[in-house]
Chain A
């Protein structure tokens, strides 16, 4: 098969993979829907009950469709999601989509930063530990990996804040930017750092980056541990591979053997698992945002949970689910691009 036919099958693979998103989404949405219905009490009386007369509560229930049978609510919910309508919050009467739009940028900044830190730290450390297996460096890196993975986020976050506050009092330890930056930068994309760049407001960009450091390290360390362990194991596995020995038999220098044959091939399974880590990162983001008072979707979710605003929670959780599904689709496509064998 020539390489052009190979890319043809790649297109087919991607198409099939996109079609598979539909059943995946359906299952996810059903689970989200049912989980919230299993919770006792109805959303309206839970969130605003006691503060409004019963007649208005009933009116609100009817407006939300909560007086209808379950299957009808379910179909309605699916119908709304298909049109990207995630509902309106009960407590502050906002479309969930606008909550996501306003807060999503901060969460995106946080998770992307955390992932960058995790990749920059985890990939080389994992490779080093795998190549020099059972050495002193390997032992240190492994312990680092286990500790960062096992340590609870809020604990790492609080420790970091305490340390920085004690030694570098001027370094920001909460929020995404100082009040001045938030006030000055005009909103375009709802991603503060991008808006700041667009506005050519570089002291603001610098200010945001400073704010990013602690939360991104906190969340990044969690993923770093996962990546280190994963890369290490896969590099060790790949170094035992027959093609690695064959490369050595052709006189390929050891550094290149590790780089081109072991490490690159070890990344194929790593990509898949890193994709799965996005779900972990999002749940980690909720904790990190709460710890650092970060104005993102995670903080919003916690606030709505406290308000018992089920519609908002349902909408935000649905949104998280959609993100995870899309990321896993992208990961599969990336895998197919890296590994020609996946395309069949």
Chain B
């Protein structure tokens, strides 16, 4: 289990993956949906970045967009570099060749992600043969069994069918399949949502240990803020297709810079919770998002400027970035009196309708 990335590009220092002003659009009858709207971040080798946000904020689309697994009728824009390669300029064939070997994906519902008519061995043989046609049958089996052992699946189950496994085991099989070729970057899209808490802890432990075993950079998409705190180095908070705050997980959770992050943390339910907090309103329409800051119609700190101008993505030290006028004001940015005036409730309602 020691030999690391043996073929392809030489080991590159610096980020494994870098996105700058990355966008994903979907075509709909009502016009393009800006599901991911100008996202910038980078991931180092072995780093785990948590991605949180409400349903429909574009988390999954971002994850799929990064590995090029988008449905027909969608398009990507901006810059996306993977190990120094410009992913958006790469032909579809070569992108496909990278998926599975260099880029991996772990899905939300493990029960339906394995082909019910194919033995586990068939899944591994297919994946390994496509990316490493030079491997012999014995080598394929050897590699598959090695990763399965690591995931706690006994070799006697190698020729079993997917339906013969429990949900937790199937998620471990999916992880094994995603990792068998040691990809440098893996997207895990809510990998534990469909599983019970004990299995969840087990899966998170496995994902957390990936960095030591494989030096895999992981984008962990989740609703569960506890998982982020537990397993992630950094966290990115997404709202209406944008990353509104990103930084060291501990720093973001202890000193959130964006009102949305703060409200999201407040809505977390724990044993000490005495009442339920939630954020008023619903995530905005992504065909025509609100003007200025997308969060302003729901933001308790909203000012006049928030409805008029999009906030600037600012670094608040140690790579802790946030885009919020109120935070900028608190940290010494000078704003006009008219810009600072709190946004009226009526205006909020009007803005929401518009």
Contact = CB atoms under 8 A, between A and B. Distances in A.
Interface stretch (A137-145, A176-184, A223-231, A241-249): A241-249
B163 A265 contact: no
Does more than half of chain A's interface fall in helix, strand or loop, or is it mixed?
helix
A135 to B, nearest CB: 12
B191 interface: no
B117 A249 contact: no
Contacts of B178: 249-250
Contact of B177 (A3, A250, A256, A268): A250
A37 interface: no
B130 A2 contact: no
Interface stretch (A47-55, A280-288, A290-298, A335-343): A335-343
A243 B112 CA distance: 6
B126 interface: yes
A41 interface: no
Given A2-B160, A252-B126, A338 B117 contact: yes
Interface residues of B, number: 32
Given A249-B105, A252-B126, A252-B130, A242 B160 contact: no
A264 B117 contact: yes
Nearest to A241: B112
A340 B162 CA distance: 9
A1 interface: yes
- Interface size bracket, A side: 20 to 34
B136 to A, nearest CB: 20
A260 interface: yes
Nearest to B159: A3
Contacts of B268: none
Nearest to B69: A249
Contact of B113 (A246, A264, A268): A246
Contact of B156 (A2, A256, A341): A2
Nearest to B177: A250
Interface stretch (B46-54, B95-103, B345-353): B95-103
A341 B114 CA distance: 13
A253 interface: yes
Contact of A251 (B97, B112, B116): B97
Given A1-B164, A3-B159, A340-B161, A243 B99 contact: no
A341 B116 CA distance: 8
A241 B178 CA distance: 18
Interface string A187-226: 0000000000000000000000000000000000000000
Contacts of A103: none
Contacts of A247: 115, 126
Contacts of B126: 247, 250, 252, 256, 260
Given A251-B130, A252-B126, A260-B126, A246 B174 contact: yes
A91 to B, nearest CB: 52
Nearest to A344: B163
Contacts of A250: 99-100, 126-127, 130, 177-178
Contacts of A3: 159-160
A242 B113 contact: yes
Nearest to A1: B164
Interface in B48-80: 67, 69
Contacts of A1: 160, 164
Rank and list the top 4 A-B pairs by shortest CB-CB distance, nearest first.
A251-B100, A250-B100, A242-B112, A249-B105
Interface of B: 67, 69, 96-101, 104-105, 107, 109, 112-118, 126-127, 130-131, 156, 159-161, 163-164, 174, 177-178
